[in-house]
Amino acid sequence: MEQKDTILDSIALLKPEHVLDVGCGCGSFTAELSPHCGEITAIDSSTALIDLCKNENQKPNITYVCMDARNIAYPDAGFDLVLERDCLHHILEWEKVLDEMMRLSSKYVLIEEPIDDPRSDAKRNTMRAQRLYLEVQKEVGFSHYPHIPLNTILGYFKQRGWDVETKVIKSDQPVDFGQFFSAFGKFAEKSNRKEYWYDRLDRLKHELKGKTLCEEDEVFISVNRKI
Ligand SMILES: C[S@@+](CC[C@H](N)C(=O)[O-])C[C@H]1O[C@@H](n2cnc3c(N)ncnc32)[C@H](O)[C@@H]1O
């Protein structure tokens, strides 16, 4: 399979008939995929997000379903393409999700995940900023974990005997502190010590004063099960 830069590019090329989108979130990305696909089933474990998908990103060829990605109730090889974008690092048992994705696909599996690389001050500052997000999210029960190291994901594929193609897209594009933390308040407000979290944010802003944050690197992993 020709390795493209993004899941969207790959799907536009492959034109799959039956697609499963794992961890679809609000459905905005699923809706972007819809012109290039036959039928799409999109799952997420959050009932609130599935309701949002149905209200804001419904398309004639998309079926949104509330379901846990660790145990997906569809038959083996029921989809020609199974994908996930930014979902694995929201699930502690991400290996189970990969097993399910491989079980459900007859042809292609596509994965896009953020990865860390402490190659610069901006990258290290961003990783530090990300850790503050994870702390407040953990306190309010939002499932979000550190990015899975690339070698760990690739090691799992190797252990299972699955051949993959991998492409890392690096970005050092600066991101403004306020923009990076635009969703912080949503989590802090759910905590019963929100002042503590706003104080932590202020302290971080003070410590990082004048230093930039930047976009995350991404890894695209594709598996062609037909080979
Ligand atoms: C960052 S969002 C991904 C959004 C979407 N894929 C996109 O690219 O815009 C991560 C999603 O994983 C979902 N999620 C977390 N744990 C899950 C699980 N066990 N099963 C299915 N979805 C899960 C969350 O509800 C959240 O919507």
- The finding on whether 66 has its CB within 6 A of some atom of ligand 1 is no
Which residue's C-alpha comes closest to atom 26 of ligand 1? Answer: 25
Buried b (16+ CB within 10 A) or exposed e, 111-130: bbbbbbbeeeebbebbbebb
d(CA 164, CA 225): 9
Q: What percentage of residues in the chain have a pLDDT greater than 90?
A: 92
- Give residue 5's pLDDT: 64
What is the value of pTM for the model shown?
A: 0.95
Give the start-to-end residue ranges of the domains of the chain: 7-224
Mutate to test the pocket of ligand 1, among 87, 94, 133 (most ligand atoms within 8 A of CB): 87
pLDDT of 210: 74
**C-alpha torsion 57→59→65→69, nearest 10:** -80
Q: Residue 83: which pLDDT band, with cuts at 50, 70 and 90?
A: very high
Q: Can you tell me the mean pLDDT for 9-27?
A: 97
Confidence of residue 20 (pLDDT cuts 50, 70, 90): very high
Is residue 6 in contact with ligand 1, taking CB distance under 6 Å? no
Mean pLDDT of 143-152: 97
44 Cα to the center of ligand 1, angstroms: 6
Query: 155 to each of 46, 101, 149, 177, how far by Cα in Å?
Result: 29, 17, 10, 34
Q: Is residue 82 in contact with ligand 1, taking CB distance under 6 Å?
A: no
Is pLDDT of 24 > 90?
yes
Q: Using CA positions, which residue lies closest to atom 1 of ligand 1?
A: 86
Tokens of 91: 């699930």
Q: Which atom of ligand 1 is nearest to the CA of 70?
A: 19
The Cβ-side half-sphere exposure at 128, using a 13 Å CA radius, reads 17
Task: Single out the residue of 102, 113, 80, 84 nearest to residue 159, CA to CA.
Answer: 102
Which has the closest alpha carbon to 43: 18, 72, 17, 10? 72
Half-sphere exposure of 20 (CA within 13 A, CB side): 29
177-207 burial: b if 16+ Cβ within 10 Å, else e: beebbeebeebbeeeeeeeebbeebeebeee
Q: What is the 3-state secondary structure (H, E, C) of 169-200?
A: ECCCCEECHHHHCCCHHHHHCCCCCHHHHHHH
The whole-number pLDDT of residue 2 equals 46
The residues with which 116 forms a beta bridge, in sequence order, are: none
Query: Phi first, then psi: what are they for 6, rounded to 5°?
Result: -135, 165
Pocket test for ligand 1, best of 22, 44, 62, 68 (most atoms within 8 A of CB): 44
Helix-then-strand count for the chain, H and E: 9, 9
Statement: residue 212 has pLDDT above 90 = no
Residue 136 contacts residue 174 (beta carbons within 8 Å)? no
pLDDT tier for residue 226 given thresholds of 50, 70 and 90 = low
**Any ligand 1 atom below 6 A from CB of 85:** yes
Task: Establish whether residue 33 lines the binding site of ligand 1, counting it when its CB lies within 6 angstroms of any ligand atom.
Answer: no
CATH of 7-224, one of 3.40.50.970, 3.40.309.10, 3.40.50.150, 3.40.47.10: 3.40.50.150
Percentage above 70 pLDDT, the chain = 97
